[in-house]
Structure 1
Amino acid sequence: MIEAVEKKNPELAKRMRDVLDGNCARLEGLSPAAVDFSKEVAILLYC
């Protein structure tokens, strides 16, 4: 998905990668249950 955005807007793609990297770093080291919980919370907040 980011690759498709990059073709049209490289700066937006860079920001998307930065956000994705930050999110992955926050989830690193958490248990699978904690990761699943954080996904559920995100879905509730953004839907």
Structure 2
Amino acid sequence: EFIIGQRFEPLLRESLQMGCVSFTQRYFRAGKITPARYAQAYT
């Protein structure tokens, strides 16, 4: 989610489809976040 604003007034709001569920299933199976899996997901 991106919100750009001035003081407390939002000027631009955007929701991007990032595929977080498929990303999590691909790189962090069974919910395990390890340094090796994080490195693989990051590159």
Both structures adopt the same fold (TM-score exceeding 0.5)? no
Q: Which has the larger radius of gyration?
A: 2
Scaled by the length of structure 1, the TM-score of the pair is 0.37
Which has a greater percent of strand? Answer: 2
Scaled by the length of structure 2, the TM-score of the pair is 0.38
RCO higher in structure (CA 8 A, sep ≥6): 2
